[in-house]
Amino acid sequence: MKSFTVPDFASLPPGGQAVVIGAGGGLGSAFLTLLDGSERFAAVTGLGRKSRPALDLTEEASIAAAALAVKEKSLDLRLIIDATGFLHDGAFQPEKSWRELDPAQFARAFALNATGPALLMKHFLPLLPREGKAVFATLSAKVGSIGDNQLGGWYAYRASKAALNQIVRTAAIELKRRKPQALCLALHPGTVDTSLSAPFSKQGLEVQRPEEAAARLLTLLDALNAGASGGFYSYSGERLPW
């Protein structure tokens, strides 16, 4: 049974378009489904490695081509959600000690968690309209907070998400000069029942269904105004420390 409310996006001018990057993932697909069901947008586009055009965070040319395809729809781009992220795969697992530090793991984490999203900002932020509210939101993680780090470990993931937070903050300053009503934000989605979080979902943690997590984040984005741009927010609405 659905236990969440999907926002109506009344804070956004109607008739624009929404874009979800990483739409093939568990949380990305939930964002796409909820946005598809909204009457606020004239078009909702999912982008990822299997979309047409394909978007690969490690290939800037594919990001540029995807941004051009969005621009060619000739609709105001009101919402961009970057639902990508890398924590582990068959080759790499989060480090428990400095003894496990691996330059290849750092390179991959930064490519997917920091450099890739930075290139999304490079190509998609210029597409946001000059007037009216518009949002670019990227998924960070609470463990990327330096001030909140109490447990250590997870070096590459923590560092790459901290770098992402700095990129968001810096891009938001430039965005404000050009498009003062637009927002650029970093979001902590919490623990979500996806392949990224599944191996680390300890007993006692609140584990959200993807649709529930996506609805909470969309509700937050609907509520925030331009003064929040450059911030780092939890799905609960709490502003997180850097």
| Length of the chain measured in residues | 242
Arithmetic mean of pLDDT, 61-89: 97
Arithmetic mean of pLDDT, 45-63: 97
Arithmetic mean of pLDDT, 70-85: 97
pLDDT for the residue 203? 52
Q: Determine the Cα–Cα distance for residues 19 and 80; give it in Å rounded to an integer.
A: 5
Q: Which residue has the higher pLDDT, 192 or 218?
A: 218
Q: Determine the Cα–Cα distance for residues 104 and 91; give it in Å rounded to an integer.
A: 10
Structure tokens at 51: 């979309």
Report which of 236, 157, 209, 221 is spatially closest to residue 26, judged by C-alpha positions. 209
Say whether 113 sits in a helix, a strand or coil. Answer: helix
Q: Which residue has the higher pLDDT, 28 or 6?
A: 28
Q: pLDDT category, 1, cuts 50, 70, 90?
A: very low
* pLDDT at residue 15 greater than cutoff 70: yes
pLDDT for the residue 35? 96
Q: Which residue has the higher pLDDT, 197 or 85?
A: 85
Q: pLDDT category, 195, cuts 50, 70, 90?
A: low
- Phi-psi sector, 87: left (phi>0), alpha (psi -120 to 50), beta: alpha
Q: pLDDT category, 196, cuts 50, 70, 90?
A: low
pLDDT for the residue 91? 85
* pLDDT at residue 66 greater than cutoff 70: yes
* pLDDT at residue 121 greater than cutoff 90: yes
Task: Convert the pLDDT of each residue in 17-29 to its tens digit.
Answer: 999 999 999 999 9
pTM of this prediction?
0.92
* pLDDT at residue 186 greater than cutoff 50: yes
Q: pLDDT category, 51, cuts 50, 70, 90?
A: very high
* pLDDT at residue 231 greater than cutoff 70: yes
Residue ranges of E strands in the chain: 16-21, 41-47, 77-82, 134-139, 182-188, 191-192, 207-208, 232-234
Span 17-234 CATH architecture: 3-Layer(aba) Sandwich (3.40)
